Amino acid sequence: MWQAQLIQHLSSQTKAIEAVLDVVKRQREALKEGRLELLTDLMQELDRAQRQASVEDSLRSALVTKIASEQGCDPTLDSLVAVSGPKRDELLSAGKALRKTVTKAQSEIQILGTLVEESKALNEMMINEWRRLGSTSSEVSGLDLKG
């Protein structure tokens, strides 16, 4: 019985992290395409998705701790699989799917972080160039460009 419940929680957490991953990918594309107006909406969507993923993680963690205590094993996937009986393969598959999704999400978040840093650096360079051009235009002496 606990196996089915744990499999359900692992699947729910995987789906929640996949939702975060989807938003992060859309943020990356918006950033690459310079669609900054879309980023605000995506930040709000990401916040909601991350909160849901956090809730799912807390639920899974509490369930794993409870089950491990009842089964007299460590609260790890390998330990729980070892005592899971007939649902062993299904539990292992759900756990591996969650691990794979977490790894993908970490990778995408790292890529997005790099893009954000590059964007900040580019914006700073543009601002500095704009300031430099502004200061040189005021140095033009005696030239009246007004009609």
pLDDT at position 146 over 90: no
Residue pointed to by tokens 């543009």: 126
49 SS3 class: helix
Side chain identity at residue 54, one-letter code: S
Distance CA 83, CA 60 (A): 18
Give the chain's mean pLDDT: 89
Distance CA 124, CA 122 (A): 5
| pLDDT score of 138 | 57
Q: Kindly calculate the radius of gyration of the chain based on its CA atoms and give it in whole angstroms.
A: 25
| pLDDT score of 133 | 85
| pLDDT score of 6 | 95
Query: How would you class 113 by CB atoms within 10 Å of its CB: exposed for 0-12, middle for 13-18, buried for 19 or more?
Result: exposed
Residue 10 contacts residue 67 (beta carbons within 8 Å):
no
Q: Which of 29-33, 81-85, 124-128 has the lowest mean pLDDT?
A: 29-33
Please state, for a pLDDT cut of 70, what percent of the chain lies above it: 93
- Phi, psi of 93, deg, nearest 5: -65, -45
**25-78, pLDDT tens digit by residue?**
998 888 888 888 888 899 999 999 999 999 999 999 999 999 999 999 999 999
Give the DSSP per-residue string, 104-140.
Answer: HHHHHHHHHHHHHHHHHHHHHHHHHHHHHHHHHHTT-
E strand intervals along 22-123: none
Question: Going from the N-terminus, what domains does the chain have, and what CATH number goes with each?
Answer: 2-137 (1.20.58.300)
pTM of this structure? 0.76
